[in-house]
A and B are shown apart, each in its own frame.
Chain A
Amino acid sequence: MSEPYTRHEYDVIVIGAGGAGLRAAIEAARCGAKTAIITKSLLGKAHTVMAEGGCAAALQNADPRDNWKVHFHDTMKGSKWLADWRMAEFHAKEAPDRVRELEQWGAVFDRTRKQLINQRNFGGHTFPRLAHVGDATGLEIIRTLQERGIHEGIDIFMEYTVRHLLKEGDRVTGCVAYTRVDGDFHAFSAKSVVLATGGSTRCWSVCSGSWEYTGDGHALALWAGAELRDMEFVQFHPTGMVWPPSVRGILVTEGVRGEGGRLTNSEDDRFMFNYVPEMFQGDHAETIEEADQWVEEVVSGKLATVRRPPELLTRDVVAKAIKAEVEAGRGSPHGGAFLDISHRGEEAIKKKLPSMYHQFMELAGVDITKDAMEVGPTAHYIMGGIRVDAESQETTVPGLYACGEASSGLHGANRLGGNSLSDLITFGKRAGEYAAKRANNLAQPSIDGSQVSKAIEDMIAPFAREGGENPGTIYDEMREMMQLKVGIIRTKHELEEALVDLTAFKERAMESFPGTSRRYNSGWHQALDLINMADVSRACALAALTREESRGGHTRDDMPTPEDEYWGKTINIIWMEDGEIKIRQEPVEEMRDDLQAAIKEVKAMIAERAKEQGGDD
């Protein structure tokens, strides 16, 4: 018995409707391609809405000394020099126009006194660089792209989930999807397919990601023969909510510490003073008085004359410190640290951190103008992803493109805050443009019925089972396991265990039973998602096991220091062969001369500036 399915034909299909997907589709349509977006959710609901801080672009509105070279330098340095420098170059040069274009499409960013887009400071950015709207920049960007996108003649398939990429020889020629609402099947013929499916942080039990973040694009790419890179690098944001259990992982913006938030343990000790790594020695305040003075100067708009508080060390350092305090038995009642901003007073808090105030009030019953928050690390972003060509965003498989968090290369070992939203619009545009160009020269591929039937068979397999485990149980347990064994601090032993566990989880997933209804059956969707999550988690664990050092978003307890000689110049590449996930290493390509010169120039400028500021960076 073969299942019926509906056929569709497009030039370009974009999978995912977050910032990257929408931007790609707009560009493809503007290049004249017949374009469709396929999204798991309704339009405008994607994870992009969660981005708070802003969108980094050297607009030079807030500080005229900024330019693409400085942004390029900051991104490369933040990546621990593992980023693809070509992508970092395009990104730094093109992000400003992508942001200005959003304004023409209706985005209303906060303004400077000169009536232009305002920019704020953020960790790792030398100058104020983040275009923003209060603490809800992601919502602004996705709404703008949505409101522009619906007038570009793009067909939008909402609540469709893609499970399979069609291939003809070595090129991708379309995809197969099911509808969430009815459980019907659809086969799409496409000359180019763009993966813009976002990240995979749902693989961890404490995460800031929405349910959609199950690594669909990563898995589709792997299964279609494309390569991933940097999969060991996962950004754990140091401050997520830890209590109540139901909100564990929801983000507490870095802005709280920027506004003077103090981290303390159960003994009321400001422990970050004890965790300044050697490479940052001398850069940060050494006494509480000095730290407090910095905050006072900065919040009153003055130039800092002393060094910044150790709470503002990089994300990886702060996350590890909180974890260490908890393990030493000095955690808060619910296993985190205290983050206190109440000394800034009610008025300032409500003005500067309105959504944090509401978040804690409504979800935890905590009034942050009076009491401390409890916070701990949360899986926030995956730097790794589908390997793409910097210029075209094409993967290693012809006809298959990737952009946004699903792709990789721009962030290397560590992403700077604010560089994600700019990534989406910069490389979303490129992906759409090149996908459309490719489509220009091709005939419409035919849909291979046997591939479609096989894909559908895999999708309905869970219904054929006579009972079995609830997929929800496996989902919860697998995420716990990843948190424990492939979490923020890793060891060889635990990573090896994780690989064994993942095999078992995948087998259990393949035996799970979601009930019999195909209509809006979350259990069925989860049973299928589990399969990609298991493969993507394996890619991460394998890469983490292989990288025998600590760097950026990858920390090995058994190898705590960076090893610059080899791993400082090497990236991990992952692919799939006969159902097996494989790994190999490749050297980082030497940077072009003119870019090296640009880096030197910026370094000299920063050193000069530091001297003027009396040692503060």
Chain B
Amino acid sequence: MSLKGKKQAFKLARGEDGETALTEYEITLDEGMVVLDCMHRIQHEQEPDMAVRWNCKAGKCGSCSAEINGRPRLMCMTRMSDVVAETPEGKPIEIRPMKTFPHIKDLVTDVSWNYDVAQRIAPIDGPESMDWEFNQMEADRVQHFRECIECFLCVNTCHVLRDHQMFDDFAGPRNLVRLAQYEMHPLDTEDRVPEIKKEFGIEYCNITRCCTEVCPAGIQITDDAIIQLKERVVDRYYDPLQRIWRTITRQKVRY
């Protein structure tokens, strides 16, 4: 079904600093549009000062996260044909900013908390010499995590933050992925397990897998990153054999 020429109503959350009201707009659709195109059309035809954050429009930068009909998605990768199909006929499509972060204006939120947490994570610490040696299998484990586009949709969805606001105690799924990426790097020597437990609060995650469901990069956040880190924490703090081995060798285990 072509959408060309179809009139479509939208309800956008407009306003500043959390004081928003749903405002209705109507535009005429073209074939093959994504939601972000519709936002641009509203800007270019009706409201030049409507706020939307975006960069690449190709699903690679993670700037355009929003809640479309209540589901957190990238606006540039959500096709109108899908959204129209899921919206009851005659009803407007609702677009809201991510709820978990402080609101700035219209669809734009302040995601700086994620950057602040990242700042507290120690950088990689590997050999001084150049030409590091490790094989593709070891690379594979880490490369998967490095596909993260920092859209923060996972953080927006996680109930520990969204509902319980544990921003001071929990690093959030995105930064746990970052920790996993370092922790599983074949040549990183930094001992990260204590802070993963204490400072970054991995135990607050109760493996609901909501973050994994919304990740546009398809990262298995819960299974591949968080559960692996949880296991390392358990090994360290609750497995006596591991503890002894570590004290004898004073070495990090290369998994």
Contacts and interface: CB of A to CB of B under 8 A. Distances in A.
Interface of A: 41-47, 49-50, 97, 100-101, 103-106, 108-111, 114-117, 133-134, 136, 139-140, 143, 147-148, 150-151, 158, 181, 210-212, 243-247, 250-251, 359, 362-365, 470-473, 475-476, 513-517, 519-524, 526
Given A181-B104, A244-B32, A244-B33, A49 B49 contact: no
Contact of B43 (A41, A44, A147, A472): A472
Contacts of B63: 41-42, 45
A314 to B, nearest CB: 25
B55 A45 contact: yes
Given A97-B130, A104-B132, A210-B61, 15 more contacts: A41-B63, A42-B115, A49-B61, A106-B124, A109-B139, A111-B139, A116-B133, A133-B146, A147-B118, A150-B119, A211-B57, A363-B79, A472-B45, A521-B48, A522-B50
Nearest to B16: A519
A557 B181 CA distance: 52
Given A45-B61, A106-B185, A520 B105 contact: yes
B201 interface: no
Contacts of A109: 139
B213 interface: no
A476 B49 contact: no
B182 interface: yes
Interface residue range, chain B: 35 or more
Contact of B49 (A45, A115, A211, A514): A514
B130 A522 contact: no
Contact of B56 (A49, A108, A245, A472): A49
Interface in B177-196: 178, 182, 185
A117 B135 CA distance: 9
A108 B146 contact: yes
Contacts of A100: 130-131
B95 to A, nearest CB: 15
A47 B104 contact: no
Contacts of B44: 470, 472-473, 475-476
A211 B54 contact: yes
For A245, A251, A522, A526, the residue with the greatest tally of chain B CB atoms inside 10 Å of its CB is A522
B239 interface: no
The 7 closest A-B pairs by CB, nearest first: A244-B32, A523-B48, A472-B44, A520-B51, A515-B49, A521-B49, A106-B124
Interface of B: 16, 30-34, 36-37, 40, 43-45, 47-63, 77, 79, 81, 104-106, 108, 110-112, 115, 118-119, 122-124, 126-127, 130-136, 139, 142-143, 146-150, 178, 182, 185
A100 B142 CA distance: 18
A243 B4 CA distance: 13
A95 B32 CA distance: 41
A62 to B, nearest CB: 14
Contacts of B16: 519
Contacts of B150: 44-45
A106 B60 CA distance: 20
Contact of B30 (A45, A50, A246, A519): A246
A147 B134 CA distance: 21
A455 to B, nearest CB: 22
A139 B49 contact: no
Nearest to A133: B143
For B53, B81, B112, the residue with the greatest tally of chain A CB atoms inside 10 Å of its CB is B53
A143 B123 contact: no
Nearest to B147: A136
Contacts of A150: 115, 118-119
Contact of A147 (B123, B131, B142): B123
Contacts of A513: 48
Contacts of A247: 32, 34, 57-58
Contacts of A472: 40, 43-45, 48
Nearest to B186: A108
Contacts of B106: 520
A144 B119 CA distance: 14
A50 B58 contact: yes
B134 A115 contact: yes
For A472, A513, A515, A524, the residue with the greatest tally of chain B CB atoms inside 10 Å of its CB is A472
16 contacts: A42-B63, A43-B115, A45-B61, A49-B149, A139-B147, A210-B55, A246-B32, A246-B34, A359-B58, A363-B79, A472-B44, A520-B51, A521-B49, A522-B43, A523-B43, A524-B49
A250 B108 contact: no
A519 B133 contact: no
A42 B31 contact: no
Contacts of B123: 105-106, 147-148, 151
A365 B105 CA distance: 33
Contacts of A517: 49
Contacts of B61: 41, 44-46, 49, 210
A363 B34 contact: yes
Given A108-B146, A139-B149, A150-B119, A470 B48 contact: yes
A212 B55 contact: yes
Contacts of B131: 100, 103, 116-117
Given A42-B111, A111-B139, A143-B146, A522 B49 contact: yes
Given A108-B139, A522-B51, A250 B124 contact: no
A245 B30 contact: yes
For A97, A136, A471, the residue with the greatest tally of chain B CB atoms inside 10 Å of its CB is A136
Contacts of A471: 48
A594 to B, nearest CB: 27
A104 B127 CA distance: 8
Contacts of B122: 151
A513 to B, nearest CB: 8
A110 B49 contact: no
A49 B60 contact: yes
B32 to A, nearest CB: 2
Contact of A103 (B34, B62, B104, B130): B130
A515 B50 CA distance: 10
B126 A104 contact: yes
A108 B143 contact: yes
Nearest to A44: B150
A108 B142 contact: yes
Nearest to B33: A246
B133 A115 contact: yes
Contacts of A117: 131
A537 to B, nearest CB: 19
Nearest to A143: B146
A171 B45 CA distance: 43
For B50, B61, B112, the residue with the greatest tally of chain A CB atoms inside 10 Å of its CB is B61
Contacts of A246: 30, 32-34, 36-37
A603 B246 CA distance: 58
B146 to A, nearest CB: 6
Contacts of B118: 147, 150
Contacts of B126: 104
For A150, A151, A247, the residue with the greatest tally of chain B CB atoms inside 10 Å of its CB is A247
B43 A363 contact: no
A1 B31 CA distance: 49
